[in-house]
Amino acid sequence: MPELGLVPDGDGQARVIDVLHGLLWRAANQPAALRGYLDEARPDPQKLRLVAQALQGKGLRAEGENKPAEAQACERLLGAWRTLVDDNLLSGS
């Protein structure tokens, strides 16, 4: 997953969902690589947060359905957003 979120699409930018998945993967597997990844990806933090909120939200699940692993990962990310995303983006500026 090293290239996820770093490869631009047709308009020269990586898709927000790809950046989020790259961020989730690094948060779970290579937390020390988060700062470098965010420095390279340079995502819009507001768009990134909105996508994470949508994926962790109840609106994508049927009533009584268990929360998928992706939603759980987004929930953990959002719980630590300031430390994992905002602080790393600000320190890279």
pLDDT tens readout for residues 27-84: 999 999 999 999 998 899 999 999 999 988 876 666 777 888 888 899 999 999 998 8
**Structure-block tokens of residue 60:** 């994508």
pLDDT tens readout for residues 33-42: 999 999 998 8
- pTM value is 0.80
Q: Where are the domains of the chain?
A: 16-91
| Contact (Cβ atoms closer than 8 angstroms) between residue 66 and residue 51 | no
- Please give the Cα distance from 9 to 15 (Å, whole number): 7
Instruction: Determine the pLDDT at residue 59.
Output: 64
